[in-house]
Structure 1
Amino acid sequence: MRVVAGERKGMPLKAITGTTTRPTTDKVKESIFNMIGPYFDGGTVLDLFAGSGGLGIEALSRGVQRAIFVEKDGRAYQTLQENIKKCRYEDVAETFKTDATRAVKGLIKRDIQIDYLFLDPPYRKIEYYDLILTLIDGGKLSENAVIVCEHAAEVSLPSTYGPYTLTRQESYGGTIISIYR
Structure 2
Amino acid sequence: MRVISGDARGRALKAVPGTGTRPTTDKVKEAVFSMIGPYFDGGQVLDLFGGTGGLAIEALSRGMERAVLTDTDKKAIDTIRQNLQVTGFADRAEVYRNDASRALKALAKREVKFDLVFLDPPYKLKVIGGLLEQLMQDELLAEGATVVVEHDAEDRYDDPVGELAPLRRAEYGDTAITIFRKG
TM range (shorter): over 0.9
Normalised by the length of structure 1, the TM-score is 0.97
Unaligned runs of 5+ in 1: none
Q: Cα offset for 1:18? A: 2.3
Question: Aligned partners of 2:128, 2:35: CA distance in 1, in Å?
Answer: 23
Tell me the equivalent position of 1:129: 129
1:7-55: CA deviation from partner (whole Å, max 9, x where unpaired): 1000000012322111000111011000000000000000010101000
Unaligned runs of 5+ in 2: none
Query: 161-170 or 29-38, which moves further after superposition?
Result: 161-170
Question: Aligned partners of 1:180, 1:93: CA distance in 2, in Å?
Answer: 23
Structure 1 vs Structure 2 CA RMSD: 1.0
Tell me the equivalent position of 1:78: 78
Question: Aligned partners of 1:165, 1:128: CA distance in 2, in Å?
Answer: 14
Tell me the equivalent position of 2:145: 145
Q: Cα offset for 1:128? A: 4.0
Secondary structure of 1:134's aligned partner: helix
Tell me the equivalent position of 2:3: 3
Question: Aligned partners of 2:133, 2:65: CA distance in 1, in Å?
Answer: 24
AA partner of residue 147 (structure 2):
I
Number of residues paired by the alignment?
Answer: 181
Question: Aligned partners of 2:129, 2:115: CA distance in 1, in Å?
Answer: 17
Question: Aligned partners of 1:12, 1:127: CA distance in 2, in Å?
Answer: 30
1:36-90: CA deviation from partner (whole Å, max 9, x where unpaired): 0000000000001010100000000000000000011011111111001111111
Which segments of structure 1 move beyond 6 Å, counting only runs of 4 or more? none
Secondary structure of 2:142's aligned partner: strand
Identity over aligned residues, as a percent?
49
Q: 1:18 to 1:129 in 2, by over 3 A?
A: farther
Q: Cα offset for 1:129? A: 3.5
Q: Cα offset for 1:127? A: 2.2
Secondary structure of 1:118's aligned partner: strand
Question: Aligned partners of 2:69, 2:177: CA distance in 1, in Å?
Answer: 19
- 2:15 corresponds to 1:15: yes
